[in-house]
Amino acid sequence: MSSATLCDIPVTLERGQREVFCGLTGIVWLHRKMQDAFFLVVGSRTCAHLLQSAAGVMIFSEPRFATAIMQEKDLAGMADANDELDRIVERLLSRRPDIKTLFLVGSCPSEVIKLDLGRAAQRLSVAYNGQVRVLSYSGSGIETTFTEGEDTCLETMVRAAPQTDEQQLLVVGTLPDVVEDQLERLLDACGITEAAGKLAFFPPRRAETIPAIGPKTRFLLAQPFLNATRRALIGQGAVHIPALFPFGVEGTSAWLHSAARAFDVRKERVDTACAAPVARARKALEHYRHTLQGKTLWFMPDSQLEIPLARFLASECGMQLLEIGVPYLDQQTLSVELPALPENSGIVEGQDVDKQLERLHQATPDLVVCGLGLANPLEAQGVTSKWSIELVFSPIHGFEQVGDLAELFARPLQRKLKLAV
Ligand code: SF4
């Protein structure tokens, strides 16, 4: 374990046993977002089970994800896994002509035998030229945490995007359609879309239409875990607009103001457009504030949403932060969030789960935000918990979701109170 200081906030580095899902989990929300895309995991039966249990069974529609299960002879290098993959892809695409983009998703087994899915995607793209775009990314558990699955997927899409010289604003990060529509209306009402010339969301609802990117593209991140995507966009000449993330009233207001400044839109115009949604959001928040105010909070490192959510819960809900665990810390992506944390917030980057649990039991927080694997044992020991993965699956961005976001943290505390009576 070692320590460093960041924006006057002490950061402890910890390396040891980790308790997180792998990046395959991202397929659950990515396949819902991109309605013409198919995700083919090249992995083991374990990968297939994880995906099936995380995504559930689709009864009414054809699934848009599957696992090409590698057999023992593939793993032992006794068969050409590329030939087998080509046969599976051929069968899939002849049965499903609706697939326009196919993602080959790497897993631990495919990485262990060094199956080059990037090259396979290139080969298959040529073979199905004009009909299907084939891309590849890694969702393996060798990465640090489960939200990296979205990051590596979007990074691949950025590299496949066409070039443009047109000025535009790109909002980057998978959002539920309803949230995307709300943010689009807000950006329009603030005059930001007009000043930018064009607004696009990334990823798009149809993977077939990846937005073009170029030197006049400015982008706002909507998710705090898109570090590789941010670097890939900059590599394509796009310019990052540093901002708070759009969680809570303050985060959403600051996110819009940052975009407005980037395109020389007057502050007053944004304030006027936001006045009614801000008032609604504050009223919704008030409902949960009395439950959250003064309660102590502990984040286990899991979703990479920890820092912006800790900022929201401390500054707008009055919670006290005891420890903010993060799987890894990208100071560029979080450059505006980190100084907005309360002084002396204890950040722990990485994980040594046993040591972290020891500290947690000593600190006895009122609420622990953690992965599914830790939540049940903690609940059994009388510790109130919140599943962090729910924060990735739920609509939590923007003014209209502020009440729902606060409720996600208030509900377990209220439930505990009811059980105690
Ligand atoms: S990618 Fe790795 S960690 Fe994820 S389910 Fe497959 S084997 Fe397990």
| Tens of pLDDT, residues 245-258 | 999 999 999 999 99
Rounded to the nearest angstrom, the distance between the alpha carbon of 22 and the centre of ligand 1 is 6
DSSP letter string over 89-156? HHHHHHH-TT--EEEEEE-HHHHHTT--HHHHHHHHHHHTTTT-EEEEEE--TTSS-TTHHHHHHHHH
49/79: higher pLDDT: 49
pLDDT tens for residues 326-370? 999 999 999 999 999 998 888 999 989 999 999 999 999 999 999
Q: Which of 53-67, 123-137, 293-307 has the lowest mean pLDDT?
A: 53-67
* Angle, CA of 246, 248 and 249, to the nearest 5°: 95
175, 201 contact by CB (below 8 A): yes
Using the structure block, give the residue that is written with the tokens 């009614």. Answer: 276
CA dihedral 408, 410, 411, 416 (to 10 degrees): 140
Class of 168-273 in CATH: alpha beta
- pLDDT tens column, 73-104: 666 665 678 888 999 999 999 999 999 999 99
Atom of ligand 1 at shortest distance to CA of 46? 5
Higher-pLDDT residue of 53 and 166 is: 166
pLDDT at 293 (0 to 100): 97
- Please indicate whether residue 140, judged by its CB atom, sits closer than 6 Å to ligand 1: yes
| 25 ligand 1 Cβ < 6 A | no
The reported pLDDT for the residue numbered 5 is 60
Instruction: Give the single-character DSSP code of 163.
Output: B
The confidence score (pLDDT) of residue 61 equals: 59
Q: What confidence score (pLDDT) does residue 57 get?
A: 53
- Per the DSSP assignment, residues forming a β-bridge with 324 are 299, 347
Q: How far is the CA of 49 from the centre of ligand 1 (A)?
A: 10
Higher pLDDT residue, 10 or 287? 287
> How far is the CA of 69 from the CAs of 38, 73, 283, 382, 393, in angstroms?
16, 11, 51, 40, 27
Between the CA of 24 and the centroid of ligand 1 the distance, in Å, is 7
At 6, is the pLDDT very low, low, confident or very high (cuts 50, 70, 90)?
A: low
Q: What does the pLDDT look like over 263-302, one tens digit per residue?
A: 999 999 999 999 999 999 999 999 999 999 999 999 999 9
150 alpha-carbon distance from chain centroid:
6
The CB of 43 under 6 Å from ligand 1? The reply is yes
Q: What is the pLDDT of residue 75?
A: 63
Is pLDDT above 90 for 304? yes
The whole-number pLDDT of residue 141 equals 82
Identify which of 100, 89, 90 has the alpha carbon closest to the alpha carbon of residue 34.
100
The DSSP secondary-structure symbol of 417 reads: H
Ligand 1, atom 3, residue with closest C-alpha = 141
**Helix segments in 325-401, DSSP class H:** 353-363, 372-380, 389-393
Highest average pLDDT, of 46-60, 306-320, 407-421, comes from 306-320
Residue 56 has a pLDDT of: 65
Letter string b/e over residues 105-120, b meaning 16 or more CB atoms within 10 A of that residue's CB: bbbbbbbeeebebeeb
Q: What is the DSSP letter of 247?
A: -
Assigned fold of 2-18+280-420: Rossmann fold (3.40.50)
Q: How far apart are CA 107 and CA 202, in angstroms?
A: 24
In this model, does residue 419 exceed pLDDT 90? no
Decide: 48 in ligand 1 pocket, CB within 6 A: no
Count of positions (residues) in the chain: 421
The class that CATH gives domain 23-143 is: alpha beta
Q: Is 336 in the pocket of ligand 1 (CB under 6 A)?
A: no
The residue whose two tokens read 């665990």 is 325
Closest ligand 1 atom to Cα of 109: 7
Task: Determine the longest span between alpha carbons in the chain, in angstroms.
Answer: 67
Does residue 25 contact residue 54 with C-beta atoms inside 8 Å?
yes
Using CA atoms, how far apart are residues 52 and 43, in angstroms rounded to an integer?
Answer: 13
What are the residues whose beta carbons fall under 8 Å from the beta carbon of 394, sequence distance 6 or more? 404, 408
pLDDT of res. 90 = 95
Q: Would you state the pLDDT for residue 344?
A: 81
Over range 404-416, report the average pLDDT. 95
Q: Residue 71 Cα, ligand 1 centroid: separation in angstroms? A: 15
23 lines ligand 1 (CB under 6 A): no
In the reported structure, the alpha carbon of residue 38 is separated from the centroid of ligand 1 by a whole-number distance in angstroms of: 19
Q: How would you classify the pairing of strands 296-299 and 367-370?
A: parallel
Question: What's the Cα-to-Cα distance from 413 to each of 157, 282, 290, 417, rounded to whole Å?
Answer: 40, 20, 11, 6
Pocket probe mutation, ligand 1, options 50, 143, 144, max atoms within 8 Å of Cβ:
50
Separation of 89 CA from ligand 1 center, angstroms?
21
Bigger pLDDT: 64 or 173?
Answer: 173
Q: Whose CA is nearest to atom 6 of ligand 1?
A: 47
Model confidence band, residue 218 (pLDDT cutoffs 50, 70, 90): very high
How much distance in Å is there from the Cα of 139 to the middle of ligand 1?
A: 8
**Helices marked H in 161-238:** 177-189, 192-196, 227-235
Q: Are 138 and 166 in contact (CB under 8 A)?
A: no
**How far away, in angstroms, is 6 Cα from ligand 1 center?**
33
CA distance 178 to 78: 49
State whether the beta carbon of 50 lies less than 6 angstroms from ligand 1. Answer: yes
Cβ neighbours for 89, distance < 8 A, ≥ 6 positions apart = 40, 102, 124, 134
In short, whether 303's Cβ falls inside 6 Å of ligand 1 is no
Residues 6+ apart with CB under 8 A from 241: 218, 219, 220, 258, 259, 262
Atom of ligand 1 nearest to the CA of 50: 5
Residue nearest (by alpha carbon) to ligand 1 atom 5: 47
**Tokens 């009576």 correspond to what residue?**
421
- Cα of 28 vs centre of ligand 1, distance in Å, is 15
Cα 41 to averaged position of ligand 1 atoms, centre (Å) = 10
Task: Determine contact, residues 337/245, Cβ cutoff 8 Å.
Answer: yes
**Every domain range in the chain assigned CATH 3.40.50.1980:** 2-18+280-420, 23-143, 168-273
pTM summary value: 0.94
**Contact 41 CB / ligand 1 (< 6 Å):** no
What is the residue with the minimal CA distance to atom 7 of ligand 1?
108
Instruction: Give the pLDDT score at 1.
Output: 54
CA distance 338 to 332: 10
- When the pLDDT of each residue in the chain is averaged and rounded to a whole number, the result is 92
Tell me if 52 CB under 6 Å of ligand 1: no
User: How much is the average pLDDT of 155-169?
Assistant: 97
Report d(CA 149, CA 137) in Å as an integer: 8
> What average pLDDT score do residues 205-233 get?
97
Q: How confident is residue 58, by pLDDT bands cut at 50, 70 and 90?
A: low
